Amino acid sequence: MRYLFGFLICLFLLVPFPVKAEEMVKVKLQNYIGETPKVTLELKGDYVTLDPTLTLIEGTEYGLVVKKGRLYLIGGGEEQLVNGTLALVPRSYDENHVISINERPYLGAFEFQVENGIYIRPVNQLPLEDYLKGVVPFEVFPSWGIETLKAQALAARTYAVSHLKADMNDTIQYQVYAGYDWKSSTTKAVEETKGEVITFGNSLIDAFYSASNGGMTENNVNVWGGKSISYYPIKADPYDPVNPWEFKLKRSQIELNEVEWDMANSWEDLVEQDTEITDKMKKWLARNGYSGDIKIVSIPSFQLSESRLKSERSLRGSISIQFLQRIIDGTVLYNELKLEDVNLNKIRPMIGGTLFKSYLIDSLDFNGEYYSMKGRGYGHGVGMSQWGAHFMGEEGKNYKEILQFYFPGTEITNLSDKS
Report how many domains make up the chain. Answer: 3
The pLDDT of residue 3: 43
* 135 within some domain: no
Question: Do residues 249 and 369 share a domain?
Answer: yes
Residues 350-383 pLDDT 10s = 999 999 999 999 999 999 999 999 999 999 999 9
Percent residues over pLDDT 70 in the chain = 95
pTM: 0.86
CB 152 within 8 A of CB 136: yes
Angstrom distance (rounded) from CA 30 to CA 81: 24
* 222 within some domain: yes
Query: DSSP 3-state helix, strand, coil percentages of the chain (rounded to 5)?
Result: 25, 35, 45
Q: At 349, give phi and psi (nearest 5°).
A: -60, -25
* 144 within some domain: no
Look at residue 43 and tell me whether its pLDDT is greater than 50: yes
Question: Do residues 355 and 368 share a domain?
Answer: yes
Q: How confident is the model at residue 419 (pLDDT cuts 50, 70, 90)?
A: low
Question: Do residues 7 and 55 share a domain?
Answer: yes
Question: Do residues 203 and 111 share a domain?
Answer: no
Angstrom distance (rounded) from CA 148 to CA 141: 10
Angstrom distance (rounded) from CA 150 to CA 160: 15
Question: Do residues 226 and 179 share a domain?
Answer: yes
CB 174 within 8 A of CB 220: no
Q: How confident is the model at residue 16 (pLDDT cuts 50, 70, 90)?
A: very low
Question: Do residues 168 and 195 share a domain?
Answer: yes
Residues 277-324 pLDDT 10s = 999 999 999 999 998 899 999 999 999 999 899 999 999 999 999 999
* 174 within some domain: yes
Nearest to 140 by CA among 106, 102, 178, 167: 178
**What is the domain range of residue 58?**
2-128
Look at residue 20 and tell me whether its pLDDT is greater than 80: no
Residues 259-272 pLDDT 10s = 777 777 888 889 99
The pLDDT of residue 19: 40
Question: Do residues 288 and 406 share a domain?
Answer: no
The pLDDT of residue 234: 97
What average pLDDT does this structure show over 166-173? 93
Question: Do residues 390 and 361 share a domain?
Answer: no
What average pLDDT does this structure show over 411-418? 87
* 42 within some domain: yes
Angstrom distance (rounded) from CA 114 to CA 232: 40
Q: How confident is the model at residue 8 (pLDDT cuts 50, 70, 90)?
A: low
Question: Do residues 95 and 201 share a domain?
Answer: no
Question: Do residues 188 and 295 share a domain?
Answer: no
Question: Do residues 64 and 100 share a domain?
Answer: yes
What average pLDDT does this structure show over 250-255? 96
Question: Do residues 268 and 237 share a domain?
Answer: no
* 120 within some domain: yes
* 262 within some domain: yes
Residues 72-120 pLDDT 10s = 999 988 899 998 899 999 999 999 999 999 999 999 999 999 999 999 9
Angstrom distance (rounded) from CA 91 to CA 154: 30
Angstrom distance (rounded) from CA 177 to CA 210: 16
Residue where a domain terminates, one of 128, 162, 187: 128
Distance separating the N- and C-terminal Cα atoms of the chain: 27
* 142 within some domain: no
